[in-house]
Chains A and B, each alone.
Chain A
Amino acid sequence: MECGFCERRCRLGPEGYGYCRMYRAGETGVEERFPDRWCATAVSRVETVPFYHAWPGARCLIIGTAGCNFECRYCSNAEVVKVDPAGLTDIMLELSPKALVDKARKHGCHAIVFSVNEPTVSLPSLEQVAREARAVGMPMGCLTNGYATVEATERLAKVFSFVNVSLKGLSPEFCQEFLGVPDAGPILRNIAALARKVHVEVTTPVIEGTNDHELDAMAAFLADIRRDIPWHVFRLLPEYKMQREDYPSIEAISARIEDCGRRLDYVYFHNFIGSRWVNTHCPSCGTVVIERHSLGCGGDKLDTFHCHGDLCPSCGARIALCGSHMAWNIKEATA
C-alpha cells in the first residue's frame, strides 16, 4: 500500500510504517499509528510561530505531534522528531479532538496552531480537531515544510486557514544534502496552491554560505505568486548535525535581504534577540504600522498595533492581514 500524504509516497508493508513512522497500512487504508497523541500543548503568541499577518496579538494553543518526513541536518527539534515516536508515547498527551479544543478555550486561546513538527504526518487527527474547532469558531494555523502531495495539500487547506510554509532551499543539491528529499518542486507547487486558498506566510531558515545566495531567487518566486506574501528570513541556529557550524552573520544577511524588499512588500529577518527587522512597514508610505519585539527562540511578540483595522493609519493603504488584531486577554472560558 502506498502512503499518499507526502511526496515520499512510502510503500507501507503489513508490518511496517513509512519514513516518518507515523502511518501504517491498516485494513481500510493508510492509518495513523498514534491518533490523538500530542506534544507541546503550550499557550503562546501567534507571532512566535511565526505569523506576523494573521490575527496579530492572538493567544494560541501551540500543538505538535512527533515524527517528520524530512531529514534536515539542522533540525532544532531533533529530540522530538528524529526519534521513534513509539518511544515517546508515555510522555505524549492523549487528548480527544474535543478535549483539545476545550483546552484551548479554557486557556482563552483564539486559535490552535500546529508547530514543532510536520502536520502532514498527523493529518487525520488534525482533521478531527478542525471539525471541533470550526464548531466553536476557532481558526487553526500551522507551520509546514510543504512537502505534502497535491491531495494532502487540499486537505491541509481545509484544516488550516493560515499556513506558514518553510521554503528552505531551491537547488536539488541543497534539498538532497540538507533536507533529505530530491528537490523543492512539490514545495514550490504547494506554496502557490495554498496561496490561492488560505493565508500564506513563508519562512526561510538561512545558513550562510549554503542557501543565502538563493534568497533573491526565492523572493522572486514568491513575488510571482503575490508580492504581499510575508516572508520571514530566519537566522538559523547551528543545531543537530550542524552543531559545530558557525552562527550566520547578521550583517551579511541583512545586507542581502535589503534587495529582496524591493520585490516583496513584507520582508522580515529574525530568530535572534533584538532584531531590528521585525516591524511591519506600510508598503505605500513606509510608516511603521505594527511593532514587535524579537525574543529569538523564546518567540516574538506584538508590541503595538497601529493599523486602523487593516489600514495604514498614515496613508490609508491596505495592509495584508488575515483576521483582525486580537486583544490578548479575552476571558478564559470556564465551561
Chain B
Amino acid sequence: MSLAILDARQWQQVVDLQSGRPTESDAPATEMVKGLLDRHPFPGDRDRGSNAWVTDTALDLIDRYAPGFAFLSYSQQYYSCRYSPLSPEERREHVAGAFAEAARFAAASGMTTVLVGTGELVPAKTPIDLENLDGLAVTSNWCAHYAGLYDLSARDYDALRHHPSLSRIVSKQDILDLFGGGPADGARLPEYMAVAATGGYFKGTSLRRLLMIPEPSTVIPVSANLGPVASLTDIRAQILSRLAAGERMALALVEGVGCAEFGVPATSCANGLDWFRYEPGDAQFLAISTGQHPIFQHNGGYRYYLDDDEHKPYPFSGYFTELPPDTIGEAYSGRSIAVGNRSMFMHVCTGCDVTCECFARNLYNQGLMAVIHRQDKME
C-alpha cells in the first residue's frame, strides 16, 4: 500500500494513496517523512525561496535515506514567468536562481546531476476563443497550445480550418498514425485536436492573465554530462545504464528554460514528433520518466472530468485514475527519491520510493504531500 502524508502546516494526516482514506502508520519511514515535511514548509510556487526548498528538502531526504537516484524538478521560474510581470533582467535572475540551486544540490549531494530544460517560454500574445463552436472545445489552464475538439459541425470545421491563430487541426487518426497507435489506443484522444500557432494560446479555465507561454520547443536542452541523446524519450535509458554501473545519479528538470537560456553546457534532443512538441507538463514529465510517448493517455484536450466521479481512485493525484507504470523510479532497483515544486507530478510521474511535492493548485499554496511507495527498501 502506498501511503500519502498530507501536511497543511503544523497538521498532518496519513492516508492510503489509492483510496484517499485516513490510515494509521507508525512505520519508521512514516515518522521520517513526517519530520521532513515539518522541517521544510513550502513557501509557495512563485516565492523566491521555492527552488531552495527543493534543494534543502532533497538534501535532507538524502541524509536520511541514502538513495542512489534522485529525480528533482525546479519550477519556481516557470510559474513566475508565466504569471508575474517580470522585466527581462528579473526573468534572467529567476532562471539563474534555478541553475544555482541545481548546482548547490549537485555539490552537496555528490550525485552526477543531469539537467533537462523543458523548453523556452515566449510572450502570450493572442488569446484564442473557442467558446462559440457548435461542438465542444476542451482546454485547460496548463496547456496553452492544444485543445480537444468534439462533435464539430461543418460550420465549426470550416471556421477552425481558416482560423488565423491556429497552425493546424489534426484528427484522432493523424495522432494515432504519428505515434504508431492502433484503434484501441484512441479512447482518451479527442476527435480532433486544435494546435495554436506560436504566441497563440487557448483561453482556458482561469482568468488569471497569462504573460508567457511555452514556445513549444522542437528541441530541449540536456546537460552535456549525460552524453548525446536524440530524443527526450532516450534520457531514461542513459540514466538507468549509468545507475546500473554504480554511479549515483540525479535527474533535475529545470522548467520553462530552453536551449537559448540553459545555464550549463548542453546538447539538445527532440521534444516530440513532427508537429507535436511537448509543453512543460505531465505528458512531458512522463515521456522523460517512462521513455515512451504517453500521448494516448495524457494529451491536451481530453475530457478529464469524465473520470472524476465518486470513488475515483487516487483522489489526491489530480485526474490520474491510476499511477502510470514503467516510470524511471520503478525501473531502478536501488533506493530512489523525488522532490519537486511542480504540484503532484513527482509522485505520479517518477515512481520513486519516496516523493515529496508541493500541494499547490493554481498557485494556491495548501502545503505539502509526500508519498511512500516503497517501505520495504527502508528496512
Encode B192-227 as 1/0 by CB contact (under 8 A) with A: 000000000001011111100000000000000000
- CB contacts (< 8 Å) of A161 on chain B: these are none
Q: Which residues of B contact A (CB under 8 A)?
A: 6, 8-11, 13, 15, 20, 22, 127, 129, 131-132, 135-136, 151, 203, 205-210, 303, 305-306, 308-312, 315-316, 359, 361-362, 364-367, 369
Beta-carbon nearest neighbor of A327 in chain B:
B309
Is B9's CB under 8 angstroms from A297's CB?
A: no
Is B20's CB under 8 angstroms from A93's CB?
A: no
Secondary structure call for the B interface = loop
Residue among B306, B362, B366 with max Cβ neighbours from chain A (10 Å):
B366
Beta-carbon nearest neighbor of A59 in chain B:
B305
Is B310's CB under 8 angstroms from A237's CB?
A: no
Tally of contact residues, A, Cβ under 8 A? 52
Is B20's CB under 8 angstroms from A76's CB?
A: no
Complex Cα distance, B306 from A327, in Å, reads 11
Closest 7 pairs between A and B when the two form their complex, measured CB to CB: A39-B207, A274-B13, A274-B6, A296-B366, A328-B309, A297-B364, A42-B205
Is B205's CB under 8 angstroms from A79's CB?
A: no
Residue A30 at the chain B interface, CB threshold 8 Å = no
- CB contacts (< 8 Å) of A329 on chain B: these are 306, 309
* A–B complex contacts, Cβ < 8 Å, 15 sampled: A64-B207, A66-B207, A80-B208, A91-B209, A93-B131, A93-B203, A107-B136, A250-B10, A274-B15, A296-B367, A297-B364, A298-B362, A301-B310, A303-B310, A328-B309
Is B131's CB under 8 angstroms from A103's CB?
A: yes
**Contact A273:B359 (CB < 8 A) given known A43-B305, A93-B129:** yes
- CB contacts (< 8 Å) of B315 on chain A: these are 293, 295, 301, 303
Residue A28 at the chain B interface, CB threshold 8 Å = no
Is B136's CB under 8 angstroms from A106's CB?
A: yes
**Contact A297:B362 (CB < 8 A) given known A43-B305, A66-B207, A304-B311:** yes
- Please give the distance in Å from A313's CB to the nearest CB on chain B: 16
- Please give the distance in Å from B5's CB to the nearest CB on chain A: 9
- CB contacts (< 8 Å) of A92 on chain B: these are 207
Complex Cα distance, B306 from A303, in Å, reads 15
Residue A251 at the chain B interface, CB threshold 8 Å = yes
- CB contacts (< 8 Å) of A86 on chain B: these are none
Other-chain contact of B308, A94, A328, A334 (Cβ < 8 Å): A328
- CB contacts (< 8 Å) of B15 on chain A: these are 274
- CB contacts (< 8 Å) of B359 on chain A: these are 273, 296
Is B131's CB under 8 angstroms from A276's CB?
A: no
- CB contacts (< 8 Å) of B151 on chain A: these are 106, 334
- CB contacts (< 8 Å) of A317 on chain B: these are none
- Please give the distance in Å from A23's CB to the nearest CB on chain B: 19
Complex Cα distance, B316 from A298, in Å, reads 9
- CB contacts (< 8 Å) of A296 on chain B: these are 8, 359, 361, 364, 366-367
- CB contacts (< 8 Å) of B127 on chain A: these are 90-91
**Contact A273:B8 (CB < 8 A) given known A106-B136, A301-B315:** yes
Is A79's CB under 8 angstroms from B208's CB?
A: yes
Is A41's CB under 8 angstroms from B10's CB?
A: no
- CB contacts (< 8 Å) of B203 on chain A: these are 91, 93
Residue A302 at the chain B interface, CB threshold 8 Å = yes
- Please give the distance in Å from B378's CB to the nearest CB on chain A: 23
Residue A88 at the chain B interface, CB threshold 8 Å = yes
Beta-carbon nearest neighbor of B364 in chain A:
A297
- Please give the distance in Å from B366's CB to the nearest CB on chain A: 4
- Please give the distance in Å from A332's CB to the nearest CB on chain B: 8
